[in-house]
Structure 1
Amino acid sequence: MHETPDRLSAVPYCCQWASAHLAGQIIRGELALADDPGWRDSGARDVDEYARWASHVCGMACLNMVLAARGAGRHPVLELARRSLPYGAYTVDGERINGMIYAPFVRYVAEVFGLDAKVHVGLRTDELPALMGQAEYFMASVHPWIRWPDREPPKKGGHLVLLTRATPGSVRFHNPSGEPGSQADVELPLATFDRYFAGRGVAILPAASV
């Protein structure tokens, strides 16, 4: 797993693709997932499994960051996804992968990692600062075009980023599918974040509250 230096927060960065430094090429379609040279670091059993799953594991990359920040080590992202399957965090229908599904994910992280997590829906963006006053992290559903904050997204949601801070003026987050230079400690005005945020996600509560 290629990691980006983390200058601002204490949360190590994890990309959902094995080669974070090649994320831009993957996003632009210049590098096929089957040609990702780091695929073995993902925990995939073979390159076909990696190519099938790697674009669906933003939530597991967020989980990996939380675990690393908590001192629980770093885990191969696809191994985290595979371990979540018995809980129903993903459903697989032929070639179609659906997920990550929040409620089963909450059960998974509680039973396997002892994390206290809570699903939130119907959130307004201006409620994020208060939420982050209670939560340690928030896995927020945003449109993946949040990597390009100058673009207007066609809809909201569909991708998870890990919020590490929220103030009345801005949010800071790690983006598992960000391009190099916009992966770790991305800071956006709250109004800009609102254009991508679907009003739902999973809060990770402080360890002391368990």
Structure 2
Amino acid sequence: MRTSAPALPALVHPVPYFSQWATPELAESIVTHQLPATDDPLWQAYGAASPQEYDWWSWRLCGMACLRMCLAHWELPVPTAMELAAGCVEAGAYVRRADGGLDGLIYAPFARHVEATWPRLTAESRPGLPASAIRELLSRGRLLMLSVHPSVRELAPTAPPARGGHLVLAVGYDAQALLVHNPSGFHGRSQEFARIPWSDLERFYAGRGVVLGRR
């Protein structure tokens, strides 16, 4: 008689949280366009040269917020978001387009850049990362940057127009839900240890990401 494998016990990695905006409490006002990011009083902490530079980059650096969380968790120095972004541009993980847009985060060059810059860390580009593998990777001490639709912050009941487009950091799980730090989550509701029920994950998750660990 076949028996199913025992369920993994609940696990939560105590990862510090960083928003992709300098003031986490303002994320909802910025995302909903009630407040321009240029009015964030802490914009200089981002490492930007001007409020306008901060505004342009802050909408695009969910990946750098995830990387900052990983560095803090593994007790490594945490550069500003702009310093990290500059390194990723140089490594080809972000590519500025002629039309003024930005391509990235591009996983393979990003993973190579992480391992070259922080030898104590491992980083693996996973263009195919099934949801069924997430718990096992977390149980091995890994942190996962996962591609989800931004509307995951509110767990919209209907399927979003696409999966992916935004990066969150998976930091734990229990039997009912995946726990993530969401760089564009709303303060007090969907930033730290935000719960995404396993039954809802498929609607938002693109099935790809980057797996980070410590050597």
Taking structure 2 as the reference length, what is the TM-score of the superposition?
Answer: 0.87
3-state DSSP class of the match of 1:146? helix
3-state DSSP class of the match of 2:59? helix
Pick from 134, 138, 161: which aligns with 2:144? Answer: 138
Pick from 70, 79, 83: which aligns with 1:79? Answer: 83
| The 10-residue stretch of structure 1 (124-133 or 113-122) with the greater mean CA deviation from structure 2 | 124-133
Deviations 1:132-176 (A, max 9, x none): 234510000000000011342111000000001235532111000
- Whether 2:167 is the aligned partner of 1:163: answer no
Structure 2 gaps, min length 5: 1-11
The one-letter code sitting in structure 1 at the alignment partner of 2:116 is E
> Which residues in structure 2 correspond to 1:95-106 (within 5 Å)?
95-106=100-111
| The 10-residue stretch of structure 1 (154-163 or 67-76) with the greater mean CA deviation from structure 2 | 67-76
Pick from 18, 32, 39: which aligns with 1:35? Answer: 39
Aligned equivalent of 1:202:
210
* Residue-pair matches, total: 200
The one-letter code sitting in structure 2 at the alignment partner of 1:44 is A
Identity of aligned residues (%): 38
Deviations 1:44-68 (A, max 9, x none): 1222211111111000100000000
Distance in structure 1 (CA, Å) of the matches to 2:23 and 2:157: 25
Taking structure 1 as the reference length, what is the TM-score of the superposition?
Answer: 0.89
Aligned equivalent of 2:196:
188
Aligned equivalent of 1:4:
none
Q: Is contact 1:110-1:116 (8 Å) kept?
A: yes
Q: Is contact 2:22-2:42 (8 Å) kept?
A: yes
Higher-Rg member (1/2): 2
How large is the RMSD of aligned CA atoms in angstroms? 1.5
Pick from 107, 119, 125: which aligns with 2:125? Answer: 119
- Whether 2:73 is the aligned partner of 1:66: answer no
